[in-house]
Amino acid sequence: DVKVTQSSRYLVKRTGEKVFLECVQDMDHENMFWYRQDPGLGLRLIYFSYDVKMKEKGDIPEGYSVSREKKERFSLILESASTNQTSMYLCASTNTGSSGNTIYFGEGSWLTVV
């Protein structure tokens, strides 16, 4: 079974702190994603990576950056956390091509910024 592991389930950070959310997948998937989920807004794409060191901005990249130094690992960075970044963050991965129709999600990281 594909496993997408997010290192932290629950975090509480102070405004202005730098926050790292780590994600690892074990199925050699090319594509990895970071989504943010808020009530009534669904899942919104923050960043997308289709290869090591490659990234594309999603719909809401402001205030975030990402790093993909190894194929299995995709990190989301909040450079200076703000209260409006309090949310649930979901990491996901897929293959490329026709086998990439299924997105596999991690369990989510609940971030509270105070």
Partner 1 sequence: GQSLEQPSEVTAVEGAIVQINCTYQTSGFYGLSWYQQHDGGAPTFLSYNGLDGLEETGRFSSFLSRSDSYGYLLLQELQMKDSASYFCAVRYNFNKFYFGSGTKLNVKP
Work out how close the CB of 63 gets to partner 1 at its nearest, in angstroms, rounded to a whole number.
20
Query: Which residues are CB-neighbours of 21 under 8 A, at least 6 positions away?
Result: 6, 7, 8, 11, 34, 75, 76, 77, 78, 89, 91, 109, 111
Nearer to partner 1, 71 or 104 (CB): 104
Q: Assess 26 for contact with partner 1 (CB under 8 A).
A: no
Work out how close the CB of 70 gets to partner 1 at its nearest, in angstroms, rounded to a whole number.
19
The one among 41, 52, 54, 114 contacting partner 1 by CB under 8 A: 41
The closest of 22, 24, 48, 21 to 34, measured between CA atoms, is: 48
Residue 4 near residue 19 (C-beta atoms within 8 A): no
Work out how close the CB of 78 gets to partner 1 at its nearest, in angstroms, rounded to a whole number.
21
The closest of 28, 25, 17 to 75, measured between CA atoms, is: 25
Q: Assess 47 for contact with partner 1 (CB under 8 A).
A: no
Return residues touching partner 1 (CB under 8 A).
Answer: 31, 33, 35, 40-45, 48, 50, 59, 90, 94, 96, 98, 100-108
